[in-house]
Amino acid sequence: MRLAAHDVDGTSVISVTGEVDVYTAPRLRAALDARVAAGACRLVVDLGGVDLIDSTGLGVLVGCLRRIAPAGGSIELVVTSPSVARVLQITGLDALFAVHDTVDEALAGARDAGTVGG
C-alpha cells in the first residue's frame, strides 16, 4: 500500500493505492491520525487506487470518523473500484460516508460539510 497526503483549501486529502487489509490498515490509521493531530477535521480519503478493502480497513475509517465527527469533522471517500463500492454498500457504510467518483467532488462535499457542520 502507498499513501500520499496533501492539503487543499483546509481539507486534508489522503490518497491510497494498493490493498487496505489487516496488514496495511495500521499505516492508514497512522496517516489519518497524523492529519487529525495536525488539526484536520475535514478529510478526503481517495480510495481510487484501492481494489480491496477488508473489515480492518473499514474499521480504521469508521474509527477516524467517530473521533472527528463530534467536532463537526467529516470524511469524504473517493471510490472508483466496483468491489470497494460493493463492500461499502453491503456493510451499509455508504450511508455513513459520502462517497464520490472524483477528488474534486469529494473536496466540494468537504467544503459543504464544513459550512453546514462547523
Q: Please report, for the domain that includes residue 111, its CATH number.
A: 3.30.750.24
- Mean pLDDT to the nearest integer, 47-76: 96
Structural contact between residues 16 and 45, judged by C-beta atoms closer than 8 angstroms: yes
Q: What is the pTM of this model?
A: 0.93
- Look at residues 18, 31, 11 and name the one whose alpha carbon lies nearest to residue 73: 11
Structural contact between residues 75 and 64, judged by C-beta atoms closer than 8 angstroms: yes
Q: What is the pLDDT of residues 22-39, one digit of tens each?
A: 999 999 999 999 999 999
Domain residues for the domain of 37 are 2-117
* Domains in the chain, number: 1
Distance between CA atoms of 29 and 41, rounded to whole angstroms? 15
